[in-house]
């Protein structure tokens, strides 16, 4: 057994694992990340980070590097098939997921963090704080953070929450070519499409969501048929379908969720990110919530001078309700995006266009200030 009892053991080196590694290292808490993959490679897909996530990336010391590796869309354009509904100023940064992960990983190493690849967690003992891996190694750590994503075997074993269930939505994804500098939301009956540039070379990430009873596999790596894909989005406008046509590799997978948790911790174990609250991606907030969780846990450990028990309790009070609310708001957004009735869709479009509803909803999510929330909690 390897003695890392002075380190927090983080299982999973995705957004939440790397971000909490940075947040803890910044507060002088030593960490080690165990990642099952052989390196930090991510799938060819995009991610948008909204102001609530960007502010925290800045506090973690990664914003400048992220700006250099991302794209700043000019506008957010919302359309219903070929009709414009609304255009807003864009406040998000968009990037390839790989670049986001790369930037946080670099910062984690700069801060002195340690990361081991090819370490797939097999089991853990909450009493003794030991983690055993499929390569037969065992590490003793001071506390365990489960950042192992939606399928989280740790959540499954230690929180009796069952397996993820199919949400009723499946996603297409790919990278196409477009000269648009904007982030586009296109709504249609039973589907919607989100696309945005991820660099200055016109590479455009798109995710197309369809409502379907067929429960596709939950894997970002499953290739889909281009003909079926173009058929699913044939009602969309000419510019959109041209961009879709330029995509060479196309993937299709099922979107899965889990019911909200009543608690995000148990004994020496705390859940973060998708392991705690996987959500349908219709508000683009899963990664941002992972960053908020990570920043908050690190800041609490700093404020509470390394007292895990107190940090866990405060973390749960600060994060559970917000995560659960955004999880259910994301599901509602899917229903609004996919309205089939032309009359109800028209009403939706009018409300979006002539009332501040979109800005009010996004501001509620984007204006969250993690430090202010922590201060409020302790006062
Ligand atoms: C189509 C789509 C679009 C999205 N768009 C956005 C967006 O625009 N903005 C946004 O904020 N969010 C978005 N999200 C959500 C976001 O991708 C996730 O919420 C985020 O990746 C969660 O990060 P995580 O670190 O918790 O989990 P993950 O990114 O899943 O990372 C988990 C890590 O744990 C590792 N792991 C798993 N099991 C083990 C094990 N047993 N041992 C060791 N390691 C293990 C995995 O290899 C992986 O590296 C989107 C999601 C989807 C599906």
* DSSP secondary structure letters along 220-254: TT-B--HHHHHHHTTTS-HHHHHHHHT--S-EEEE
Q: Is 379 inside a domain boundary?
A: no
3-state secondary structure of 139: strand
Q: Does residue 211 belong to any structural domain of this protein?
A: no
* CA contacts within 13 A on the Cβ side of 329: 15
Residue 364 has pLDDT above 80, yes or no: yes
What per-residue confidence (pLDDT) applies to 52? 98
* DSSP structure string for 356-367: THHHHHHHHHHT
How far is 223 from 327, CA to CA, in rounded Å? Answer: 27
Residue pair 154/19 in contact by the 8 Å Cβ criterion: no
- Report whether residue 288 contacts ligand 1, using a CB cutoff of 6 Å: yes
In DSSP terms, 256 is beta-bridged to 166
Residue 216 predicted with pLDDT over 90: no
The 8-class DSSP code of residue 83 comes to: E
**pTM exceeds cut of 0.85:** yes
Ligand 1, atom 49, residue with closest C-alpha: 14
Q: Mean of the per-residue pLDDT values for the chain?
A: 94
Provide the Cα torsion 182, 74, 363, 42; round to 10°: 60
Confirm whether 332 is domain-assigned. Answer: yes
Does pLDDT of 224 surpass 90?
A: no
Higher per-residue pLDDT: 215 or 105: 105
Q: How many CB atoms lie within 10 A of CB 379?
A: 5
Predicted pLDDT of residue 171: 94
Residue recorded with tokens 């030991």? 130
pLDDT at position 162 is: 77
Structure tokens at 362: 């996004």
Find, among 230, 202, 180, the residue nearest to 79 by Cα: 180
Residue span of the structural domain in which 335 resides = 2-70+97-164+260-343
The C-alpha atoms of residue 21 and residue 202 are separated, in whole angstroms, by 33
Question: For position 157, what pLDDT does the model report?
Answer: 92
DSSP secondary-structure letter at 71? B
How far apart are the C-alpha atoms of 287 and 298, rounded to whole Å?
17
242-260 per-position pLDDT tens digit: 777 788 889 999 999 999 9
Residue 73 banded pLDDT, cuts 50, 70, 90: very high
Which residue of 20, 21, 32, 47 sits with most ligand 1 atoms within 8 Å of its CB, as the best mutation to test the pocket? Answer: 47
Give residues with Cβ within 8 angstroms of 155, minimum separation 6. Answer: 146, 148, 161, 258, 271, 275, 276
Decide whether any atom of ligand 1 lies within 6 Å of the 334 Cβ: no
Q: What is the pLDDT of residue 258?
A: 93
pLDDT digits (tens, 9 = 90+) for 306-360: 999 999 999 999 999 999 999 999 999 999 999 999 999 999 999 999 999 999 9
Above pLDDT 90, what percent of the chain?
85
Q: What CATH number does residue 150 fall under?
A: 3.50.50.60
Q: Mean pLDDT throughout 73-85?
A: 94
Q: Is 321 helix (H, G, I), strand (E, B) or coil?
A: helix
Domain annotation covers residue 296? yes
- The residue whose CB lies within 8 Å of the most ligand 1 atoms, and thus the one to mutate among 287, 297, 329, is 287
Token pair recorded at residue 159: 């929180």
Residue owning the nearest CA to atom 30 of ligand 1:
149
Residue 232 lies in a domain: no
Q: Distances in Å between the alpha carbon of 371 and those of 27, 102, 114, 198, 321?
A: 14, 25, 26, 29, 17
Q: How many angstroms does the Cα of residue 9 sit away from the middle of ligand 1? A: 18
Q: What letter would DSSP give residue 259?
A: P
d(CA 109, CA 30): 12
In the predicted model, what is the mean pLDDT of residues 266-291? 97
pLDDT (mean) for 30-34: 98
In a domain, 334, yes or no: yes
Classified as helix, coil or strand, 342 is helix
Over residues 127-167, the pLDDT tens digits come to 999 999 999 999 999 999 999 999 999 999 999 777 899 99
Task: Determine the pLDDT at residue 222.
Answer: 83
Residue carrying the six token digits 């929450």 = 161
CA geometry: angle at 194 spanning 190 and 197, to 5°? Answer: 165
Angle at 138 between CA 37 and CA 101, to 5 degrees: 25
**Residue 16 is assigned to a structural domain of this protein:** yes
**pLDDT attached to residue 42:** 66
Do the domain assignments include residue 48? yes
Ligand 1 neighbourhood includes 326 CB (under 6 angstroms): no
193 alpha carbon to ligand 1 midpoint, in Å?
20
Q: Is the CB of 115 under 6 A from ligand 1?
A: no
For 337, the token pair is 């995006």
Percentages helix, strand, coil for the chain, rounded to the nearest 5?
Answer: 40, 30, 35
In the chain, the number of structural domains is: 1
- H or E element, residue 160: none
276 neighbors 257 (Cβ within 8 angstroms) = no
Atom of ligand 1 nearest to the CA of 13: 49
């Amino acid at each position: 057994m390897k003695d890392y009892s002075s380190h927090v053991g983080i299982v999973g080196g995705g957004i939440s694992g790397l971000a909490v590694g940075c947040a803890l290292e910044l507060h002088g808490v030593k960490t080690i990340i165990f990642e099952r993959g052989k390196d930090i490679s991510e799938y060819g897909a995009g991610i948008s980070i909204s102001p609530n996530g960007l502010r925290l990336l800045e506090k973690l010391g990664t914003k400048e590097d992220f700006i250099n590796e991302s794209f700043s869309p000019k506008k957010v354009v919302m359309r219903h098939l070929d009709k414009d509904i609304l255009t807003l100023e864009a406040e998000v940064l968009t990037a390839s997921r790989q670049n986001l992960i790369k930037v946080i990983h670099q910062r984690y190493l700069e801060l002195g963090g340690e990361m081991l690849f090819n370490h797939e967690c097999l089991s853990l003992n909450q009493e003794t704080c030991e983690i055993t891996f499929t390569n037969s190694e065992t590490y003793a750590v001071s506390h365990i953070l489960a950042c192992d994503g939606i399928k989280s075997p740790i959540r499954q074993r230690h929180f009796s929450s069952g397996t993820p269930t199919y949400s009723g939505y499946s996603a297409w994804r790919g990278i196409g070519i477009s000269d648009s500098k904007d982030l586009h939301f296109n709504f249609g009956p039973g589907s919607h499409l989100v696309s945005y540039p991820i660099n200055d070379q016109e590479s455009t990430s798109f995710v197309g969501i369809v409502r379907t009873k067929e429960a596709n596999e939950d894997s970002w790596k499953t290739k889909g048929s281009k003909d079926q894909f173009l058929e699913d989005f044939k009602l969309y406008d000419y510019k959109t379908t041209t961009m879709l046509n330029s995509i060479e590799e196309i993937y299709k997978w099922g979107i899965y969720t889990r019911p909200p948790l009543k608690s995000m911790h148990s004994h020496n174990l705390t859940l973060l990110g998708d392991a705690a609250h996987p959500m349908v991606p219709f508000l683009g907030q899963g990664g941002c919530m992972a960053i908020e969780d990570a920043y908050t846990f690190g800041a609490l450990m700093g404020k509470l001078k390394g007292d895990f028990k107190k940090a866990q309790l405060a973390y749960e009070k600060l994060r559970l309700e917000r995560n659960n609310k955004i999880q259910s708001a994301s599901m509602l957004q899917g229903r609004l995006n996919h309205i089939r009735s032309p009359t109800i869709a028209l009403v939706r479009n009018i409300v979006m266009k002539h009332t501040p509803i979109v800005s009010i909803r996004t501001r509620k999510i984007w204006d969250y200030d993690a430090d202010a929330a922590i201060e409020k909690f302790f006062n």
